[in-house]
A and B are shown apart, each in its own frame.
Chain A
Amino acid sequence: GAVVSQHPSWVICKSGTSVKIECRSLDFQATTMFWYRQFPKQSLMLMATSNEGSKATYEQGVEKDKFLINHASLTLSTLTVTSAHPEDSSFYICSAPRDRAYGYTFGSGTRLTVV
């Protein structure tokens, strides 16, 4: 149980285009979703926290207008990278806290390459 499905697994897009990444909680309701960015050989860097029905909370230094996060329902949170540039190329991971007993459930990640 406690599965978060993340799509796409990888995407290549041209500079200037937008890319949407979806995370769906399949067997539980995710009121909160964390969005991370991970550079090669580095730890997870929290970008923002989305809560169902309210605006996302962004970490310092993360551009709100570039990384649009929407949490429209209890089972779906999306991250849209707008006007993508090569420096946005990275690995993006979503994670939902289920409860303390089970820890956190992670999506499988999205590898974004902007050319």
Chain B
Amino acid sequence: AQTVTQSQPEMSVQEAETVTLSCTYDTSENNYYLFWYKQPPSRQMILVIRQEAYKQQNATENRFSVNFQKAAKSFSLKISDSQLGDTAMYFCAFGADSNYQLIWGAGTKLIIKP
């Protein structure tokens, strides 16, 4: 069975700083996808970034980038130049290519301080 672990329940940084959220996973699947979702106070789930396991290049979306280490089964999210609007819960999720069900991490509460 697949598992996703987020070991940081809460993090807090100053605005404009860089922050890295960690995520590790366990799977025996060869083909899979990894996601970071953001859930702001509105509770709407928003896709931040995704990574296909077969791609070695780390995904990047503006200020958001990942460090995907397939052998180590690690998928961390780096937020550069953090903004107040980045304050939210961040969830790491795993999706095997063999089915559409997502496996979720426990989440990290990120607080950006002014």
B50 adjacent to A103 (CB under 8 Å):
yes
**In the bound complex, how far is the Cα of B33 from the Cα of A41, in angstroms?**
25
Residue in chain B with minimal CB distance to A46: B101
| Among A34, A93, A103, A106, residue most surrounded by chain B Cβ atoms (within 10 Å) | A103
Distance A95 CA – B35 CA, assembled complex (angstroms): 14
Tell me, in angstroms, the Cα distance from A97 to B45 when the chains sit together: 13
Q: B1-49: which residues lie under 8 A (CB-CB) from chain A?
A: 33, 35, 42-45, 47
B65-73, B77-85, B103-111 - interface stretch: B103-111
State how many angstroms separate the Cβ of B71 from the closest Cβ of chain A. Answer: 22
In the complex, how many angstroms separate the beta carbon of B57 from the nearest chain A beta carbon? 16
Q: Chain A at the B interface: mostly helix, strand, loop or mixed? A: strand
The B52-104 residues at the A interface (CB cut-off 8 A) are: 52, 91, 95, 97, 100-102, 104
Partner of A100, one of B33, B42, B44, B104: B33
A91–B102 CB distance below 8 A = no
Residues of A within 8 A of B105 (CB): 43
B residues with a Cβ closer than 8 A to A are: 33, 35, 42-45, 47, 50, 52, 91, 95, 97, 100-102, 104-107, 109
16 contacts between A and B (CB under 8 A): A34-B100, A34-B101, A34-B102, A43-B105, A43-B106, A44-B91, A46-B101, A91-B43, A93-B45, A103-B33, A103-B50, A104-B35, A104-B47, A104-B102, A106-B44, A106-B45
